[in-house]
């Protein structure tokens, strides 16, 4: 079984990507496993965000239905396991029984780079170092968003200053790249803007990266998103909004066509930050240490992004 860890900053499209990948017949998205209360990894946030921990499927809870995967039996079984990869396999076995299909790939979208470190320690032991997770078939997907888009989200959510938000983007992303390199595991970068603008092409590339079938029919079904099939811990509530609106199959093709048309006429809709950030905030973000070099490494053209902003403000 292949174990896939999604790592990166908040608001980088990880929940949306996880929901799409979960649509593949060989994939099981288990969600943000580190949100389980048993790991106690968010004690520093409990006062400000009391709902940071979770132990069930958001969609099933919201729709007031029993979850076929995240239930008392599953939680009782994994509470006896210390190895994160054993937990992945245990949840996958329960999913196979519940849904009647084999699971070849598990997606752990916990996102924080330190969770990947923690998972490696549960295999090698704290004295084993992080040289490689050689006993497991592991890879990583790095989700990222333009530093301007990330900063706008953080400023709106927490009131963080622009330059501090930019530095946070650098720190988390650099840490993700560092831990993946230290573990010597294969990885692929997924930019939020590319995913929203052309999901089919990006999903085909991801399927090939993960060794999964990438037929046109499978990719179309993945991009259609089916609320009833997604049972994962945690996630961004807003990413589930369309799925919660209709429990049947949701067809977002029209929305994506609209984004493509918008791109031809100017900055695409995912660049909401262009309307939200003023010139001073943009300049402050761009001046943060490491932003230019890291943006280039991730495939962003900061000059072009700033040009979009300048043209839109005229």
Residue 71 within a domain: yes
Q: Helices 291-298 and 302-313, interaxial angle, to 10°?
A: 100
Residue owning tokens 């509530």? 237
Lowest model confidence (mean pLDDT) among 106-110, 120-124, 144-148: 120-124
Residue 218 within a domain: yes
pLDDT at 16: 87
Q: What is the band of 87 on the pLDDT scale with cuts at 50, 70, 90?
A: very high
Query: Considering its fold, how many domains does the chain have in total?
Result: 1
Interval 275-281 mean pLDDT: 93
pLDDT at 48 over 80: no
pLDDT at 244: 53
pLDDT at 256: 29
Question: Which of 46-50, 57-61, 190-194 has maximum average pLDDT?
Answer: 190-194
State both tokens at 51.
């709902």
Lowest model confidence (mean pLDDT) among 5-19, 56-70, 281-295: 56-70
Residue 64 within a domain: yes
Predicted TM-score (pTM) of this structure: 0.87
Half-sphere exposure of 185 (CA within 13 A, CB side): 31
Range of the domain at 16: 2-253
Q: Who has greater pLDDT, 42 or 275?
A: 275
Residue 98 within a domain: yes
Instruction: State the Cα–Cα distance between residues 215 and 212, nearest whole angstrom.
Output: 9
Residue 311 within a domain: no
pLDDT at 260: 30
Q: Who has greater pLDDT, 220 or 129?
A: 220
The CATH number linked to 244 is 3.40.50
The kind and range of the H/E element at 243 are helix 241-245
pLDDT at 55: 87
pLDDT at 247 over 90: no
Lowest model confidence (mean pLDDT) among 30-39, 56-65, 167-176, 219-228: 219-228
Instruction: State the Cα–Cα distance between residues 60 and 22, nearest whole angstrom.
Output: 16
pLDDT at 259 over 80: no
pLDDT at 141 over 60: yes
Q: What is the CB neighbour count within 10 angstroms for residue 139?
A: 17
Residue 35 within a domain: yes
Lowest model confidence (mean pLDDT) among 79-93, 235-249, 298-312: 235-249
State both tokens at 196.
């929203």
Residue 95 within a domain: yes
Residue 86 within a domain: yes
As a whole number, the mean pLDDT across the chain is: 84
């Amino acid at each position: 079984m292949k174990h896939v860890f999604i790592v990166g900053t908040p608001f980088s499209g990880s929940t949306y990507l996880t929901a799409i990948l979960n649509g593949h017949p060989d994939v099981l998205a288990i969600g943000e496993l580190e949100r389980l209360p048993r790991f106690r990894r968010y004690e520093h946030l409990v006062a400000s965000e009391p709902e940071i921990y979770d132990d069930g499927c958001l969609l099933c809870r919201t729709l007031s239905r029993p979850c076929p995967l995240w239930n008392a039996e599953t939680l009782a079984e994994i509470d006896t396991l210390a190895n994160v990869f054993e937990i992945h396999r245990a949840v996958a076995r329960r999913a196979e029984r519940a849904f009647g299909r084999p699971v070849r790939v598990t997606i752990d979208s916990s996102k924080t780079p330190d969770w990947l470190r923690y998972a490696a320690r549960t295999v090698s032991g704290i004295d084993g170092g992080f040289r490689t997770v050689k006993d497991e078939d592991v890879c990583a997907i790095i989700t990222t968003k333009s530093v301007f888009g990330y900063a706008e989200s953080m400023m709106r959510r927490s009131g963080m200053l622009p330059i501090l938000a930019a530095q946070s983007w650098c720190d988390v992303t650099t840490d993700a790249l560092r831990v993946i390199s230290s573990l010597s595991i294969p990885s692929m970068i997924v930019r939020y803007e590319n995913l929203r603008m052309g999901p089919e092409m990006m999903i085909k590339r991801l399927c090939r990266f993960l060794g999964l079938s990438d037929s046109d029919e499978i990719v179309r079904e993945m991009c259609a998103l089916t609320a009833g099939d997604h049972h994962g811990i945690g996630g961004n509530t807003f990413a589930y909004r369309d799925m919660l609106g209709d429990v049947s199959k949701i067809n977002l093709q029209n929305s994506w066509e609209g984004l493509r048309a918008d791109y031809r006429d100017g900055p695409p809709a995912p660049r909401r930050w262009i309307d939200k950030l003023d010139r001073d905030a943009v300049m402050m973000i761009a001046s943060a240490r490491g932003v230019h070099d890291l943006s280039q490494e991730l495939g962003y053209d900061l000059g072009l992004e700033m040009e979009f902003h300048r043209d839109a403000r005229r």
